[in-house]
A and B are shown apart, each in its own frame.
Chain A
């Protein structure tokens, strides 16, 4: 995958720009942009592995240090947020499953039949006639 601006970055490697764009994309949770940036970084890294890290790139890396630290912190916060959201989703899934099983119970004892719904999903059970 070739990205236009990626080529432009290669010689001078404005690493601060990459990190800053990654930070902005992470805050906005722009997965597509971040995946693009990850590809770009992987490509740059291949270049460094093949040709060695130039002094110029080292200097650029140094100037990107504080932004890299910021990215690390935001990643840390993002992981915590993701954990909360995953737990929240798990709670809702469990809730939905519980609700599904109780709907059957509710229909069986007639609790919700007054609303005239769910009859299509009603399954025969003990006591069904």
Chain B
């Protein structure tokens, strides 16, 4: 009985498939002169085989309806979301690495934690203040200064290395982009010569595959041209491939980093904001890392200049008045201060703990140095607060990018499942699918709306809220 039913089903399916194919073909003929009509091709798919007595029996084919050029609408939306998703993934990876530079795994101990180093350094002056002639306390100041300088300079070196690594990655991505646009141009030529007015079949699939790959790497716009051609530009509008020709992105070094050009136009900034993996890499290389490095420079500069000033405003144990010397190397400018930060004072007796012109037992200058910890000497903030804000700002960036990234990946997942679900279905199935999607959205909106309202109530209970 099962066998008969299977056979009937197989025959019926084949008949349905034939009828559908006729419909598609006939509609194309009927609309051959209608330019606004979108060509359709029958899309045959092999059915899953039926197993009878352990033998696989083919169940024929099913025509899944016309594959419309209008599917490009969905493809393009998917490409756009993939561009954003790839960009945020690359940025998130870079930001996480960047964050690790400031909050190393060893942060539970004092080692490598700049925040702890700052506290320890100024605390060492407090210790010296209680016993200004103690060699051990003086040595303690130098040790704490050295630890602080080493951690700041090694973090700066780590940031510079990450920037160089991202620079290399960007160049690699651009090489891949150039290869893809060259291939796209070649496929365009083939499509325009072999299928100027018809669906190009495998070549069309190949072109779409290249576009998908390109979307992962770089932000692009697609423009359909005559004879089934396609032009591809960056999201900034610079032409990458026009029908049968491609324009390679070239490179040049500016200020120690690689810049990217189309012709003579520097498109580096446009690429950074354009999306794709390259967008994320360039955003991290040109914005996130330089911002963090600038803050670290500001911190190093503020601490070094102020501590040096205080040391040269007191009297050391040898009786030098106002010229005990610098503890840190004196930075000439803010930029580069972090990477260059070192301790230049080697003799602990040269630490000016006493006030100017006072005896070695005086501690007023050590007190002045210790008080720097609570003074707004770095960007209008205390050194510790400045550093805390730097780390928390970075943490907020990572958190924001993580949320954005997760949302974009979710969006891509939804779209990919829709591409599969809508592939070749009839309008009724499509409407049903859309209704299901609409219901999901409405129900999720309701969940959010209720919880968000309660969240607002939580604020009234004194519970801090972050969702607006």
A34 lies within 8 A of chain B by Cβ: yes
Closest A residue to B411 by beta carbon equals A77
Tell me whether A31 is interfacial, beta carbon within 8 Å: yes
Interface of B with A (CB < 8 Å)? 19, 22-23, 25-27, 29-31, 34, 36-38, 68, 70, 73-74, 77, 81, 399, 403-404, 406-408, 410-411, 413-415, 417-418, 422, 427, 430-431, 434, 436-441, 443-448, 450-455, 457-458, 461-467
A92 to B19, CA, bound (A): 20
* Chain A residues in 8 Å Cβ range of B434: 82, 85-86, 89
Of B22, B26, B74, B466, most A-chain CB atoms within 10 Å:
B26
Contact between chains at A66 and B443 (CB < 8 Å) = no
Selected from B26, B436, B451, the residue in CB contact (under 8 A) with A18 is B451
Q: Is B448 in contact with A75, judged by CB distance below 8 angstroms?
A: yes
Q: How far is the CA of A47 from the CA of B144 in the complex (A)?
A: 57
A102 to B32, CA, bound (A): 11
Interface residues of A in 41-74 (CB under 8 A from B): 41-42, 44-45, 48, 53, 55, 57-59, 61-62, 64-66, 68-74
Does B34 contact A102, Cβ atoms closer than 8 Å? yes
Contact B73 A112 (CB under 8 A): no
Chain B min CB distance to A3 (Å): 14
- Sort A-B residue pairs by CB-CB distance and give the 3 closest, nearest first: A106-B30, A34-B443, A73-B407
A-side contacts of B453, CB under 8 Å: 45
Question: In the assembly, what is the distance between CA of A108 and CA of B184, in Å?
Answer: 43
Known A27-B410, A64-B455; further 19 A-B contacts with Cβ < 8 A: A28-B417, A29-B414, A31-B443, A53-B461, A55-B463, A61-B451, A64-B451, A65-B455, A69-B403, A75-B444, A79-B441, A81-B411, A82-B438, A82-B441, A92-B430, A93-B427, A95-B38, A106-B31, A117-B22
Is A115 a contact partner of B441 (Cβ separation < 8 A)? no
How distant is the Cα of A20 from the Cα of B19 in the complex, in angstroms? 46
How many angstroms between the C-alpha atoms of A57 and B440 in the bound complex?
26
B440 touches A41 (CB 8 A): no
Do B454 and A61 touch (CB < 8 A)?
yes
A: interface residue count bin: 35 or more
Contact partner of A26 (CB less than 8 A), chosen from B81, B440, B461, is: B440
Convert A8-37 into 0s and 1s, putting 1 for each residue whose CB lies closer than 8 angstroms to a CB of B: 000000010011001101111111001101
B421 CB, nearest partner CB in chain A, Å: 9
A71: B residues at CB distance < 8 A: 444, 447-448
Contact B31 A82 (CB under 8 A): no
Establish whether residues A41 and B451, one from each chain, have CB atoms under 8 Å apart when the complex forms. Answer: yes
Known: A27-B410, A81-B77. A61 touches B463 (CB 8 A): yes
* B445 and A75 form a contact (CB under 8 A): yes
Contact call B443/A62, Cβ cutoff below 8 A: no
Task: Assess A58 versus B440: contact at CB under 8 Å? Given A81-B418, A102-B34.
Answer: no
With A78-B414, A82-B437, A85-B418 as contacts: A25 and B444 at CB distance below 8 Å: yes
Q: Which residues of A contact B30 (CB under 8 A)?
A: 102-103, 105-106, 111-112
Q: Are A62 and B458 in contact (CB under 8 A)?
A: yes
In the bound complex, residues from chain A placing their C-beta under 8 Å from that of B81 are 77, 81
User: Please, how many angstroms separate the alpha-carbon atoms of A63 and B22 in the complex?
Assistant: 59
Q: Across the interface, do B70 and A91 meet the contact criterion of CB distance under 8 Å?
A: yes
